[in-house]
Structure 1
Amino acid sequence: MHPVPFARPWLAVWLLAAALTPAVAAPVWPPGFAGRTLADAPAIAAQPLTQDAALRRGLVGDAALYSLYREHDIAPDALRDALARLPEPLALRRDVLGAASLGESASFEQRLIDAAAQINAAWLALANAENAVAYRQSLVEAAGAARQLAEAQQAAGNLSQLAANAMLRDAARAEDALAEAQAQHADAQDALAERLGLPPGTPVRTTGLATLPAWPAWLAPTTLAAWAEAHSPALRRAANAAALASKQATRASPRPVRLPLLAHPLATADDAGRLAGIPVAWLDATNAMQSARRDIAIAGRRTTEAWQATQRAQAMQTLATQRSDEAIKHYNGMLLGVYELLDARRATLDAAHETSAALGRFWLASARLEALLGGSLPGPWPPTATATATEPPPAGDPHREHTP
């Protein structure tokens, strides 16, 4: 008869206490408010989500928006039904918000634009994390194959302990990198689940990143700037504020300026009154216009740079694949060793990962540009870019020399 370990009664007590502890209940929203939205959570989590589906769900599932909706008499369930009737893809500006507001609805409009940007960013982060896990898993498999080969060669006396240890070290590092990628993937899942109103730990998935589109003419700096002047809510609101403030302006009578400034007495409050006819609100609105223009120009440039970087990464991936194919031929002809063949395979994996990472950065830059423009781009992204169906950036692009 085996003695019973002393700690086992404590384990039984702990299990009994856990069984009697009530589970954390899911939130129960008032009838007619968000009950049907909450009930959709299992179905949402059961299938990979497109970015469009994530945006639709996030606009009604994120409880952080519910106080805003209540304030404006919008029930998430009713908004869910309205969004379900709209075709894909959902355009925030066209389908949800409508024309930009210059009045009291401006803050509501900006909250939804910010929320949509956060949903899109969370979806893209998860898609990138999924790609990273797949890449690290491939490296673990490649390192495992090299390790098995090294162990076999060492056992046969054909490989030194020093060389074999290098293979074992690489395999261990690949396992560590995979574990880190998996942890980041779990964090990305939780971040998107929060935006979608899903329980923590929900294994939400994406359908993956869209392919690189062809070059759009509307991304040319001058074209983008002209479109933003007419459609950007931030620019329109700032321009409207500047126009209203300018009506209060009166003629200024500045004193002569003597340089250097600090060598002479600065103006006192009474002297500064010479410029009192220039409203501070007008200065603030003008500065806001310049800031909005600058932010949009930078976002457009970064989207351009990300598009170009993705094309370069695709070209490098093609070269890496060609080198790997040639390495196989050389190996079959006994012109190349097995470790060189494995190195060529790892180079192919690295190039593919860099392409997917560059693609993720491009789509994130695009999403940021869309948010700055108020939830709408000047036009759709053209069909997928290919080696024979792309256009370089327009002649006015200051980064034309970097075009692949």
Structure 2
Amino acid sequence: MARHTRARQGLAVVLVALLAGCASVSPDGAIADVKQWVGGGHAGALKPVVSEADERDRAKAVDALLSKPLGADDAVRLAMLNNRSVQAKLAQIGVAQAELAQASRLENPTLSFGKLRSGDEVEYERAFRIDILGVLFIPWRTAIETRKVEQEKLRVAGDITRIALDTRKAWVNAVAAEQSARYMADVNEAAEASATLAKRMAAVGNFSKLAYAREQAYYAEATAQLARARQAAIVAREQLIRLSGLAGPDARRLALPERLPDLPAKPREFDTAAQTAVQNRLDIQMAKHEVSGLASSLGLTRSTGFVNALETSYLRNSTNDGHRSRGYELELQLPLFDWSGAKVARAEASYRIAFNRAAEIGINAESELRTSYLGYRSAYDLAKHYRDEIVPLRKSISEENLLRYNGMLIGVFELLADAREQVGSVNAYMDALRAFWVADANLEMAATAGGPTSQQTEGPIGMPPASGGH
């Protein structure tokens, strides 16, 4: 009876050890870390939608955002709430946490039962096996998986940050495209009036064929430019809709402001603080975690290269005549054919790959930041030059020509030709302003998430046709 009691106590100890590794991992802390790394006022919108209550809250927040013209910050917040890719990336953290929970637990024990018959004698064999080596390496495996969770959180934060900045650029392009389309509609209307007047004057013989053809050509080109501007507005709007995760009636409800924000009073400064901030880029931190994790994995591979499996078993045999035997068994796999040299070499090569990749990311990050700031500052200076120099000069010229027209020193078509020059400068300023805000988002990308960004902004959304006139 005492032996039976000790056996049950030993089994109870084993079960307690098994249950000790079954602690659950909550995703709340990981999501909080992702929010902190993403930053900005839109990070608060990040929340996994896992229940009907969560879905109702999300739909309510989306409805509130779509009830008014969508600003740049609201567009990013809408994407954080509604973009399905964001939800998928948040779910990836759950996968990594499940791997961590699995690594912190013992492998399931093995229970076997056998029955052997020899003549009239029947022998029953019962065994309960546990992987002892797995128990010893639980802390090591857990540390490795913990690093992987941290790396996955950084990867998710970087991906979500890119979605946020892509959404901001899509909003800039959509607002600029719609503004350009409205402006080109006004240009087309003025060109139509000019072409109609030229047609009437040519009909009574007061206009040359060459001047008439120029006015008609200008009107035709303005019509083509209007069609292109409207098409560009549709494409830019649909890009924003996709990133916002909108569909059906919600996509049709999307309303945008009539114009882009003005230039800031001063551009950002490229100081040493910005240069050192690149060390905290999410892709650099992720690369560091990868190197650290592979270093630990390499140590584990070297340590377990000659001990692949070590199992202990509790045995209990009995026969039909009442004879019983008890004991234990140790099973050790010997490395006679596979000495794990290839496994260790593979781990070392993987470590060297990650180390050099991390160094490359750091070098590229510095270059990306310098290039992005150059594009940002050039775009700011160009937009400011149009706003403060070219557009005011064109306006002044237009006012002087209007005085000359009132004094009958020039004709109506000379006045219209000058107005077209002013149209071109205004449209060029609008495109320069759009390019600045896109460059601003690219600079933010280079300083936070990193990754490939195009430093060359898209071409002009809509430019007026060449001037007509005489």
Would you say same fold, with TM above 0.5?
yes
What amino acid does structure 1 have at the position aligned with 2:281?
A: S
Larger fraction in strand: 2
1:232 is aligned, of 281, 306, 309, to 281
* Higher mean displacement: 64-73 or 129-138: 64-73
Whether the aligned pair in 2 keeps the contact of 1:136 and 1:181 (CA below 8 Å) is yes
- Residue 58 of structure 1 aligns to a residue whose secondary structure is helix
2:356 aligned with 1:305 = no
How far apart are the structure 2 equivalents of 1:29 and 1:157? Answer: 76
How far the C-alpha of 1:346 sits from its partner, in A, is: 1.4
Q: Which residue of structure 1 aligns with residue 243 of structure 2?
A: 195
How far the C-alpha of 1:193 sits from its partner, in A, is: 1.4
How far the C-alpha of 1:365 sits from its partner, in A, is: 0.7
What amino acid does structure 1 have at the position aligned with 2:397?
A: R
How far apart are the structure 1 equivalents of 2:156 and 2:50? Answer: 22
Task: Count matched residues.
Answer: 294
Note the 1:1-400 alignment, pairs <5 A: 31-38=52-59, 44-72=65-93, 103-199=151-247, 202=252, 204-207=254-257, 208-216=259-267, 218-220=269-271, 222-229=272-279, 231-238=280-287, 279-314=352-387, 315-374=389-448
How far the C-alpha of 1:168 sits from its partner, in A, is: 1.9
Shift of the 187–106 alpha-carbon distance from structure 1 to 2, 3 Å rule, reads same
Whether the aligned pair in 2 keeps the contact of 1:117 and 1:371 (CA below 8 Å) is yes
How far apart are the structure 2 equivalents of 1:371 and 1:179? Answer: 33
What amino acid does structure 1 have at the position aligned with 2:283?
A: A
* Higher mean displacement: 334-343 or 159-168: 159-168
Sequence identity percentage: 24
How far the C-alpha of 1:166 sits from its partner, in A, is: 2.5
How far the C-alpha of 1:32 sits from its partner, in A, is: 2.2
What amino acid does structure 2 have at the position aligned with 1:232?
A: R
How far apart are the structure 2 equivalents of 1:309 and 1:162? Answer: 37
What amino acid does structure 1 have at the position aligned with 2:198?
A: A
What amino acid does structure 2 have at the position aligned with 1:56?
A: R
What amino acid does structure 1 have at the position aligned with 2:73?
A: D
How far apart are the structure 1 equivalents of 2:265 and 2:449? Answer: 21
How far the C-alpha of 1:41 sits from its partner, in A, is: 5.2
How far apart are the structure 1 equivalents of 2:200 and 2:292? Answer: 79
Summarize deviations over 1:330-375 as a string: whole Å, max 9, x none: 1111122211111121111211111111111111011011122226
How far apart are the structure 2 equivalents of 1:64 and 1:291? Answer: 27
Q: Which residue of structure 1 aligns with residue 13 of structure 2?
A: none
How far apart are the structure 1 equivalents of 2:352 and 2:413? Answer: 73
Whether the aligned pair in 2 keeps the contact of 1:238 and 1:289 (CA below 8 Å) is no
- Residue 164 of structure 1 aligns to a residue whose secondary structure is helix
Shift of the 206–375 alpha-carbon distance from structure 1 to 2, 3 Å rule, reads farther
How far apart are the structure 2 equivalents of 1:322 and 1:223? Answer: 43
Shift of the 309–69 alpha-carbon distance from structure 1 to 2, 3 Å rule, reads same
Q: Which residue of structure 2 aligns with residue 380 of structure 1?
A: none
Shift of the 102–206 alpha-carbon distance from structure 1 to 2, 3 Å rule, reads same
Shift of the 64–243 alpha-carbon distance from structure 1 to 2, 3 Å rule, reads closer
- Residue 202 of structure 1 aligns to a residue whose secondary structure is helix
Structure with larger Rg: 2
Query: Which structure 1 residue ranges, 5 or more long, are not aligned?
Result: 1-27, 74-100, 249-275, 377-404
Shift of the 332–44 alpha-carbon distance from structure 1 to 2, 3 Å rule, reads same
Q: TM-score, normalised by structure 2?
A: 0.56
How far apart are the structure 2 equivalents of 1:151 and 1:337? Answer: 16
- Residue 218 of structure 1 aligns to a residue whose secondary structure is coil
What amino acid does structure 2 have at the position aligned with 1:117?
A: L
How far apart are the structure 2 equivalents of 1:283 and 1:307? Answer: 36
How far apart are the structure 2 equivalents of 1:279 and 1:30? Answer: 44
What amino acid does structure 1 have at the position aligned with 2:245?
A: G
Query: Which structure 2 residue ranges, 5 or more long, are not aligned?
Result: 1-48, 95-148, 299-348, 451-470
How far apart are the structure 2 equivalents of 1:203 and 1:133? Answer: 19
Q: Which residue of structure 2 aligns with residue 84 of structure 1?
A: none
Alignment RMSD: 3.1
How far apart are the structure 2 equivalents of 1:341 and 1:159? Answer: 16
How far apart are the structure 1 equivalents of 2:354 and 2:173? Answer: 39
How far apart are the structure 2 equivalents of 1:166 and 1:129? Answer: 28
How far apart are the structure 2 equivalents of 1:178 and 1:56? Answer: 32
What amino acid does structure 2 have at the position aligned with 1:210?
A: P
Shift of the 38–317 alpha-carbon distance from structure 1 to 2, 3 Å rule, reads same
How far apart are the structure 2 equivalents of 1:358 and 1:192? Answer: 20
Whether the aligned pair in 2 keeps the contact of 1:132 and 1:181 (CA below 8 Å) is yes
How far the C-alpha of 1:143 sits from its partner, in A, is: 0.5
Whether the aligned pair in 1 keeps the contact of 2:155 and 2:283 (CA below 8 Å) is no
Whether the aligned pair in 2 keeps the contact of 1:127 and 1:206 (CA below 8 Å) is yes
Whether the aligned pair in 2 keeps the contact of 1:133 and 1:178 (CA below 8 Å) is yes
